[in-house]
């Protein structure tokens, strides 16, 4: 312990910072020892919350600070990380909402699920509420990171609790109409992952299909295109085959004739995926989907016609 104190208090900042970045590993050895709370935590906390530190350094210290939750144990982690002093926000809340560094925020968010595991799900309401709120943050990197945490939470929460915390309001579901293309794509991927956790309760059919339909009704063609990404990816999770046929396929075919070339291209690619995967009945594929796609072989847009040509080269 004396060696650790000497290094963490060294006047040479490089030595001090190097020791600080190894503190979570050191603390694991002393798990349950008061030294972790009394000596290690205060020093790393000061470094992580000091906005005079370099951006990359602070992100590293933030990651280490939250990794101390395990060695601290449930009670101390709640007290030191999740409860603020008087009217001040908690350490966790301060870091995920840091006003000077997106990298600090992302570093803190990367440790939230592990923090939940340490304090237990039943005592992590503050963390779960924060993740939900961050899904709607005005910083696209933050809301993207927050949304990517949801599949991990779905493996830990029963479906009713998950729906209560993340589907009340539209903070999460509105990501299907996010102004960031990466987030719209990630929304579909996230729903697939969550859907696998809640397959028995038909979560995708009961909660997400209508969200995808609503996006498809928007005037913005980029929002409409979310359905084209979703249809082949969500279809394997749909227990009722009629959902794909009645909710998704009519819109996919409609978009194949849309005036915006890029939407026709995405629709053609969507149809190709559905045909190749055999997600629809063979009779429907042969009587409807193949003929409709063949019409686009002569599309005025060369990207559309080229994509269709490539598909039929490999289709058998």
Whether 26 has a pLDDT exceeding 90, the answer reads no
Q: Are 177 and 230 in contact (CB under 8 A)?
A: no
Whether 22 has a pLDDT exceeding 70, the answer reads yes
Distances 238 to 75, 153, 294 between C-alpha atoms, Å: 42, 22, 27
pLDDT attached to residue 251 = 96
pLDDT tens readout for residues 264-283:
999 999 999 999 988 888 99
Q: Which residue has the higher pLDDT, 194 or 21?
A: 194
pLDDT band at residue 142 using 50, 70 and 90 as cut-offs:
very high
Whether 108 has a pLDDT exceeding 80, the answer reads yes
Mean pLDDT score, 213-224:
96
pLDDT attached to residue 316 = 66
Whether 15 has a pLDDT exceeding 80, the answer reads no
pLDDT attached to residue 296 = 95
Whether 246 has a pLDDT exceeding 80, the answer reads yes
Mean pLDDT score, 245-262:
95
Residues 6+ apart with CB under 8 A from 286: none
Q: Does CATH place domain 135-246 in 1.20.140.10?
A: no
| Of the options 3.90.1310.10, 1.20.210.10, 1.25.10.10, 3.50.30.20, the CATH number for the domain spanning 1-131 | 1.25.10.10
pLDDT attached to residue 177 = 97
CA distance linking residue 297 with residue 4, whole number of Å? 70
Distances 13 to 9, 21, 51 between C-alpha atoms, Å: 9, 12, 16
Whether 169 has a pLDDT exceeding 90, the answer reads no
Whether 27 has a pLDDT exceeding 80, the answer reads yes
Top-confidence range, 41-45, 192-196, 245-249: 192-196
Residues 6+ apart with CB under 8 A from 116: 124, 127, 128, 153, 156
pLDDT attached to residue 279 = 87
Mean pLDDT score, 43-72:
91
Q: Are 216 and 251 in contact (CB under 8 A)?
A: yes
Q: Do domains 1-131 and 135-246 have the same CATH topology?
A: yes
Average pLDDT over the chain reads 92
Task: Say which range, 11-15, 105-109, 182-186, 233-237, has the weakest mean pLDDT.
Answer: 11-15
Task: Say which range, 6-20, 67-81, 220-234, 302-316, has the weakest mean pLDDT.
Answer: 6-20
Place of tokens 């001040």: 88
pLDDT attached to residue 1 = 65
Q: Which residue has the higher pLDDT, 76 or 16?
A: 76
Domain spans in the chain, listed from the N-terminal domain onward: 1-131, 135-246, 256-316
Distances 315 to 167, 171, 269, 276 between C-alpha atoms, Å: 40, 41, 13, 7
Mean pLDDT score, 111-133:
96
Longest Cα separation, the chain:
78
Q: What are phi and psi of 37, to 5 degrees?
A: -75, -40
Pull the structure tokens for residue 258. Answer: 């849309």
CA distance linking residue 204 with residue 244, whole number of Å? 12
């Amino acid at each position: 312990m004396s060696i650790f104190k000497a290094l963490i208090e060294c006047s040479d900042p490089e030595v001090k910072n190097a020791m600080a970045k190894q503190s979570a590993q050191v603390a694991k050895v002393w798990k349950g020892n008061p030294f972790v709370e009394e000596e290690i935590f205060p020093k790393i906390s000061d470094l992580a919350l000091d906005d005079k530190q370099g951006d990359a350094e602070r992100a590293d210290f933030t990651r280490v600070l939250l990794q101390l939750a395990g060695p601290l144990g449930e009670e101390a982690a709640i007290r030191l990380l999740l409860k603020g002093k008087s009217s001040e926000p908690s350490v966790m809340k301060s870091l995920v909402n840091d006003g000077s560094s997106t990298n600090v925020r992302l570093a803190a968010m990367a440790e939230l699920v592990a923090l939940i595991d340490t304090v237990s799900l039943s005592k992590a309401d503050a963390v779960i509420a924060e993740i939900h709120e961050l899904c709607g943050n005005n910083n696209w990197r933050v809301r993207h990171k927050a949304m990517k945490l949801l599949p991990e939470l779905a493996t830990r929460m029963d479906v009713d609790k998950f729906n209560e915390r993340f589907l009340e309001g539209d903070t999460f579901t509105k990501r299907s109409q996010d102004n960031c293309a990466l987030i719209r794509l990630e929304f579909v991927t996230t729903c697939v992952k969550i859907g696998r956790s809640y397959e028995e309760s038909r979560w995708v059919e009961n909660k997400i299909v209508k969200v995808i339909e609503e996006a498809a009704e928007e005037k913005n063609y980029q929002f409409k295109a979310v359905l084209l990404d979703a249809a082949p990816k969500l279809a394997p999770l749909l227990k009722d085959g009629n959902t794909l046929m009645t909710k998704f396929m009519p819109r996919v075919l409609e978009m194949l004739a849309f005036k915006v070339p890029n939407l026709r291209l995405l629709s053609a690619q969507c149809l190709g995926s559905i045909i190749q995967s055999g997600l629809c009945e063979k009779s429907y594929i042969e009587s409807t989907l193949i003929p409709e796609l063949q019409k686009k072989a002569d599309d005025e847009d060369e990207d559309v016609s080229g994509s269709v040509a490539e598909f039929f080269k490999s289709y058998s």
